[in-house]
Amino acid sequence: MSGKQRHPARISQLSQREQTAMPNNSGLADLCEQRAKEVMLARWSSELTVAQMAEECSMSPAEFERAFCEKAGMLPRKYLAQIRVTEAKKLLLEPHLSLTDVRVVCGFRSQRDFTQNFTRLTGESPAAWRRRRSAALRPMASVYLRELATTRVPLAATDGNATSAEHKGLVSASRANWP
């Protein structure tokens, strides 16, 4: 009995794997690269391993890593780190979140891992990036608040019959300043 007759399911599985993952045994298929990137985008905050990504493409981890690097120009873990740092930047703009909260939400295993990846990709530590961004946003926020305080907005759905003293004061003050 030949090998093809003994293991027909294995042979069909291999040929299916070759068709979806490795066209002509050279590089990562566009569909598989797209699938790997979709998985990374969907699961960037979890502990996603190269083995899990490789499994999505029916490849061994080494084969997947080599093919992904050839096709995308970087290792899959570096691509995932870019996604995580991009998301971390968004979260760092939230002043109520600590650096540890951001690290955990973004799926970095340690503060050291978070800081190294963030610094490698942005040129500054997460804390320095946050300080610089918040300092840049402060003047804009104060300008916005000043504009908001001086903007005359007509009172919604009022017929001129205010029911409380405060409301009457607001209505009369706004009517006095209205052009």
Q: Decide: helix, strand or coil at residue 27.
A: coil
The residue written with tokens 């919604």 in the block is 156
What is the pLDDT of the chain when averaged over all its residues? 75
Mean pLDDT, range 22-43, rounded to an integer: 73
Tokens found for residue 4 = 């093809």
- Tell me the residue ranges of DSSP E strands in 64-149: none
Sign of dihedral through CA atoms 95, 79, 116, 62? positive
CATH superfamily, region 75-144: Homeodomain-like (1.10.10.60)
pLDDT given at position 30 = 76
Rounded to the nearest angstrom, the gap between the alpha carbon of residue 174 and the centroid of all alpha carbons in its chain is: 44
Residue where the block lists tokens 């052009």: 179
Ranges of each domain in the chain: 8-73, 75-144
**Do residues 43 and 56 lie in contact, with contact meaning Cβ atoms separated by under 8 Å?**
no
CA distances, 87 to each of 94, 105, 163 (Å)? 12, 9, 48
pLDDT, tens digit (0-9, with 9 covering 90-100), for 35-72: 889 999 998 888 889 999 999 888 899 999 988 988 88
Tens of pLDDT, residues 118-168? 999 999 999 999 999 887 766 555 555 566 566 555 545 445 554 444 444
Please name the helix (run of DSSP H) or strand (run of DSSP E) that holds residue 143, with its range, or none: helix 126-150
pLDDT of res. 20: 45
CA distance 92 to 133: 9
